[in-house]
Amino acid sequence: MRIAVACDHAGFPLKDVVLEAVLAAGHEIIDLGTFSSEAVDYPDYAEKVGAAIQSEEAERGILLCGTGVGACIAANKMNGVYAAICHDTYSAHQGVEHDDMNVLCLGPRIIGPELVRELVSAFLAARFVGNDPGQERHKRRVGKVRMIEAGQSPTNEAFDEHNN
């Protein structure tokens, strides 16, 4: 997979750890910056990762900012970008498996390098299971999220009847 990686100045100290973990997992990196610890704005880098996802230049993305919160909020404003902060390995893989998450947000002021390596590995090894027999509920739920994104209500009976 091609993985877009970006960070702000607060994420920069652990960016190399993320890049190494992506390479160790056998994936290609699209490094979208920042390239120093000089102060920058996290929304600029969240937008770069989101644009790479939207254009299909990258299949997944990883964002780092101080806590991961700001980058996550910014990334989720973009259609087709499904970002989550994960500071535990279960969420890092389950977010992909059940929720079709495509951007992992990390907070280097909260977690350290060893956990970052584990989180990146768990995120990249996971795959969405919604198309697997017996797992259709995840596809239905993700479909409802897509409806909300499109400004439609997922609680109407027609959707439930058609997608059960």
**Would you call the peptide bond into 89 cis, given omega within 30 degrees of 0 as the criterion?**
no
C-alpha span between 54 and 56 (Å, rounded): 5
Q: Which listed residue (9, 27, 98, 138) is catalytic?
A: 98
- What does each C-alpha distance from 92 to 41, 68, 99, 103, 145 come to in angstroms? 25, 13, 11, 10, 19
Q: What share of the chain is helix, strand, coil (3-state, %, to 5)?
A: 45, 15, 40
Query: Is 105 a catalytic site residue?
Result: no
Catalytic-labelled residue, pool 65, 72, 86, 105: 65
Angstrom distance (rounded) from CA 131 to CA 115: 30
Active site residue 65: yes
Write out the catalytic residue numbers: 65, 98
